[in-house]
Amino acid sequence: LDKAKRPKNLVLAIARQYADEDGFDNLDRWRKDKRFKIMDIPYADSEGACWARNLIQQLYNGEEYTLQIDSHMRFNQDWDDTLIKILKGLQKDGYPKPLLTSYACSFDPKNDPGGRVQDPWRMVYDRFSPEGNVFFMPETIDEWKTLKKPIPARFYSAHYAFTLGQFANEVQHNPEYYFHGEEISIGVRAFTWGYDLFHPHIPIIYHEYTRNGKKKQWDDDKEWVKKNERAHFLNKRLFGVDGVEQEGYDGLFGFGSVRTLRDYEKYAGILFEKRAVQQWTIDKKNPPVMEKYDTEEEWLNSFSIIFRHCIDVQYDSVPEKDYEFWVVAFHDEDDNTLYRKDADINEIN
């Protein structure tokens, strides 16, 4: 509120998942403020992030815009005005339903605002998980200081998503999703509803990623593994991964009718049914994929299935403690190097 240019225009819908012994999240001072819609949820009744986000979406009451965030965020001055101006600029450029989303720049609550990362991030493809979900990771938008507009995005972040208010009705979070699969499902579904995804080209909002020492919902929920397995299955079914027959893709938590799943796959360079990606996406180039193909078969043949092999090595089996990198290599019987990977400190846990 302190950082907003027009705080009187804001409506704040909050799913307060709390414990009686905690006092840090007391919201009593705001309960009589008509701008606030507060749902008090005892922590033992919580069903996870997607469930809570779905509850919040039910509080939508025709507001012009919607911004979805986590509770551990910080804002630049006039953040509301900045987001609206960027959105309206994209509409003038011919995108009727722009969606601004990204992994927000990080901040350190012990050193704020001094510890805020000031380079905005984009989201790039990382891998398909063993369960069939697409994972992505943040990466700095290197040229951001020269940019005048946001860059096209293929992925969605649930902790930083600003768009038209009707999004809360059109692209609702599936409350049966627990955690994994949330962002890729929402991003693709939004695309099929006609939303165009963009990463903001300037820092506006900041997110705390570590939250050291703070319990998560799954720390207390003894059923979280079962719930997460259910979410993995729902995501496979939505995208038809690994031959799972698609069901429910045209319901409340399914795809829209403006674009198809195939339209997204051609835009993003990702083929869900085969867990495959195009080189354009591997090379971290912004969407849409610009390569042209004469036939559907030629397009399908342009995808690669990539595996990432993890090698477990016990610390006590390594003779050296002072090293700069490890070499993982495969040689044939004549000692010719078939493959070599130099693993630096970021790869060695």
Q: Note the CATH architecture for domain 1-7+62-309.
A: Alpha-Beta Complex (3.90)
Pair type for strands 337-343 and 326-331: antiparallel
pTM (predicted TM-score)? 0.86
Sequential pLDDT tens for the chain (349 residues): 999 999 999 999 999 998 888 877 889 999 999 999 999 999 889 888 999 999 999 999 999 999 999 989 999 999 999 999 999 999 999 999 999 999 999 999 989 999 999 999 999 999 998 889 999 999 999 899 999 999 999 999 999 999 999 999 999 999 999 888 999 999 999 999 999 999 999 999 999 988 666 666 656 767 778 888 899 999 999 999 988 888 766 789 999 999 999 999 999 999 999 999 999 999 999 999 999 999 999 999 999 997 666 667 776 777 776 777 888 889 999 999 988 888 776 666 5
Q: Which of 303, 315, 312 is nearest to 272 (CA)?
A: 303
Residue 253: closest CA among 150, 315, 182, 197: 182
Question: What distance in Å separates the CA atoms of residue 226 and residue 219, rounded to the nearest whole number?
Answer: 14
In terms of Cα–Cα distance, which of 248, 264, 265 is closest to 192?
Answer: 264
Domain boundaries, the chain: 1-7+62-309
